[in-house]
Amino acid sequence: MGRIFEVRKATMFARWDRMAKQFTRIGKEIVIAVKAGGPDTATNPALRRCFQNARSVGMPKDRVEAAIKRAMGKEMINYDEILYEGYAPHGVALLVETATDNHVRTVANVKSHFNKGGGALGNSGSVSFQFKKMGVFKLKPEGLNIEELEFELIDFGLEEMGESADDEGNTIVVLRSAFVDFGKLQKALEDKGLTLVSSELEWIPTTTVPVTDEQAEDISKLIDKLEQDEDVSKVFHNMG
């Protein structure tokens, strides 16, 4: 097992109220998961994933319960997940995942962020071909027999496995699967009783664009503005 590559250059710059943003994102994901598969985690793997991620960021139980109630209430808010594609300054590709109840507001805001940040919002397909959608699972390494685990999980869709670091610099084990194998690998990890730090679907760049620290700062300013938008869930880039 080697050190897995993650595009992390933007993390050297400050983020806007990261924890509050994570709570909002996961709250929307819970609403979407409950609407699609019901409130029972035993039969709804997407909701189990949301609960895992909520625990990993310390989301209070009352906020999780409030999101479930919103999803089941008579005045339920319907969120649509929309992917926007574009370029940041210096030729770096961006994918912007959103969850919105107002398409007109969201596209106007995203376009404004790109324009003000020196980038350009593109059409569908203009950027996504440079990325691969994958399941990404993160585990703490303590108590794991890494080589044995890697061998056992190959039959469940494991494509890549290696070490990386979280935002605090702690070592974590990262596992990646193809998008279509996400549920299969998630179940295999659950069946083994492993506690996940997080499990997400992410856009992994197939190629990266090398940039200087000064260029990275320009790009990160645009990413920060996008991440601050209430409708934006995640931003992916191919900055190397």
Q: What is the average pLDDT value for the chain, to the nearest integer?
A: 88
Give me the percent of the chain exceeding a pLDDT of 70: 91
pLDDT category of residue 73 using cuts at 50, 70 and 90: confident
Domains in the chain: ranges and CATH: 18-72 (1.10.10.200), 80-129+207-237 (3.30.70.980), 131-205 (3.30.70.980)
pLDDT of 139 > 60? The answer is yes
pLDDT for the residue numbered 12: 39
Complete edge-to-edge strand list for the sheet that includes strand 171-178 = 2-3, 158-165, 171-178, 131-139, 196-205
The closest alpha carbon to 222, from 237, 240, 208, 207, belongs to 237
Strands in 232-237's sheet, in edge-to-edge order, are: 120-121, 80-87, 93-100, 232-237
227 has pLDDT over 80: yes
Q: Locate 111 and state its tokens.
A: 């376009």
